[in-house]
Chains A and B, each alone.
Chain A
């Protein structure tokens, strides 16, 4: 019995963690944080054979792009 209980607790923790992670993901995208994981998944799926940019370089490019043209924010 205790074995089974610990399983459900673990599942609960796991489920909560997933839910928090999903919510965090939504918040990150709303405030405009570059989504590296999605980018890597995209490159792997659509452009097999090409190596995705390293994390640092990806973030640098995304941020540079966000702050060099009008249209990313208003007054």
Chain B
């Protein structure tokens, strides 16, 4: 009987989910309510978790509570610590969720809500959550080994080395594009810059408090920090309203970019306790708080989506970024659907904390579903804006000009409406000089969130505070990713560089620390600077590169997972990882190829370089470029971007080829299928002889 009831409940969930999906896909009215998107997402998540993750847990890995986890076996009170599963869940979620799932869906909203929402929901169920879960299981069964180690040991040294270098490449592109998002949110915004600037001394104050005043009282220090950053929000407002101070804190994009580079370099060479760690604690609180607030705001106000299901920009002529809906919707949204970076977390700290094997299902699969929900909510916030406002904020100056009138004209030309007066009023209402061409996704997401929050609390008068609150938290956790990422990049350079010149590998030698920090900042800083001065807005070239690199890492993870399946003798189930792997390979290859060779100069790096070359040869200069030298630098950057895309594509091919070779020799019986898992061991004493 209870079995029947349960089957009935699941049948209802399936029916409701299907109905919601049908409504989203087929409805073509003026607006659709956000509730439909949320319902479709939640039903799919429930079914995927209950049935698909269970299949993986039971049939592939046969997760067993009696089998000791590394945390139990190797418990050292430091790295390996058996931890309550809800704590691990929270920890893992806080580690995987960052600005990625917020920015990607916002940018992809230029295609309409439909491609984004389908990819986020289906992609996570069959791709992203699967990847996180199987890599977590594989690592737990191998004493918490990292993805790089598993690639080397399971597939081979070639794949292992490629993965190692690719991770560094991905870090560089990731840091550059996130820095660009922050720069675009803070340029010519005295309010934003003062608020974010103040978070640095606030974090240092927390650091000093934790080291000397009350050591270890992290929650006290964080509470103090949160009160202070709220105060900083109001200090920022006073500065922006002050006629003499406001211009003094109004900086160009280039100035903000240099400030971000100097900050990240400094954070990388300073001791961790002073800046990085306190900032990280603060950012974790703000992150979880904002995700909850966003969910609350959406659930209470259930906004109608003004963006159509599909826009005309599915044809590849979009102003936010160039390229057709296939493959670029699937590249633009990485985090939220599938993100290779998570494989590093799933094979990093998390596997060393699991107290019991079956917990891996909730932590690996479950927290990725949560991140996917965050991505759906970001998409809702972006699509709740009217399309005219959305495009005026997210299209570069090259596409909409620099005045409200020219923006309104461009938007009208695209088939949407925008009243120039409204755009100026909106900017004033949120305390900014202008909202035009604030590309990168952060400002439009902040506006979408501010409108949701203001609906619930404070009304229109509170819009400015909510907008800057949203900008502050986005910038806060992007900067936390930047400073921590720069430091990790510094260690990676020291690690790789020591093969060329041994002294750079010395971990505590100050010149090596300074040199390698400067090197990593220079690497991502170059791409950032190029993005800031790019008349097409920078996001157009950098975000797709980031997406390609992230999906490349996911391909590595899925290759490792497939190899693990085959060596466990579970080749029957390899469709679970081969399906997303095949899709990602198609998507990354198609996107990489188009970014390199497309004849459309807004899309293809090489054809863009050729166009500028032609302009220089005929004595003209591209719009927005002042000197021939600057134009030549753009050509160099185009070729550099093309080379980066080529590098990522070659990496995918190498890793796939090496994996195929390994699968072939194992399946053909030329190499025994021996699983490298740590043998079954139970923590309970075995009775008998």
Contact = CB atoms under 8 A, between A and B. Distances in A.
Given A31-B94, A35-B81, A60-B273, A71 B349 contact: yes
A72 interface: yes
Nearest to B95: A73
Contact of B97 (A28, A38, A74): A74
A42 B100 CA distance: 38
Main secondary structure of the interface of A (DSSP, over half): helix
In the complex, which range does the number of interface residues on chain A fall in? 35 or more
A67 B271 CA distance: 11
A60 B274 CA distance: 11
Main secondary structure of the interface of B (DSSP, over half): helix
Interface in B261-313: 272-273, 276-277, 280-281, 284-285
B216 A36 contact: yes
Interface residues of B, number: 55
Interface in B69-90: 75-79, 81, 83-84, 86-87, 90
Contacts of B484: 67, 72-73
Contact of A75 (B215, B276, B341): B341
A68 to B, nearest CB: 4
Q: Which of A63, A68, A74 has the most CB of B within 10 A?
A: A74
A67 B484 CA distance: 6
A43 interface: yes
A27 B276 CA distance: 19
A1 interface: no
Q: Which of A24, A28, A67, A75 has the most CB of B within 10 A?
A: A75
Contact of B345 (A27, A41, A71): A71
Given A63-B272, A73-B345, A32 B77 contact: no
Given A30-B87, A36-B216, A42 B174 contact: no
A7 interface: no
Contacts of B219: 24, 27-28
A58 B90 CA distance: 23
Interface stretch (B358-366, B486-494, B634-642): B486-494
A37 to B, nearest CB: 10
Contacts of B37: none
A46 B94 CA distance: 31
Interface string B214-249: 011011001000000000000000000000000000
Contacts of A36: 216
B183 interface: no
A17 interface: no
Nearest to B144: A71
Given A70-B167, A71-B347, A71-B349, A29 B487 contact: no
B127 interface: no
A69 interface: yes
A68 B285 CA distance: 22
A27 B281 CA distance: 10
A13 interface: no
Contacts of B488: 67-70, 72
A39 B341 CA distance: 30
Contact of B75 (A42, A56, A64, A67): A42
Nearest to A43: B77
A69 B348 contact: yes
B87 A29 contact: yes
B463 interface: no
A20 B147 CA distance: 38
A68 B348 contact: no
Contacts of B585: none
Interface of A: 24, 26-36, 38-43, 46, 55-56, 58-75
Given A26-B90, A42-B76, A72-B349, 10 more contacts: A31-B218, A31-B222, A31-B285, A35-B81, A39-B78, A58-B78, A64-B272, A67-B272, A73-B481, A73-B485
21 contacts: A26-B87, A30-B284, A31-B218, A31-B285, A32-B94, A33-B281, A42-B76, A42-B77, A58-B78, A60-B273, A64-B272, A67-B488, A68-B487, A68-B491, A72-B349, A73-B96, A74-B98, A74-B341, A75-B98, A75-B99, A75-B341
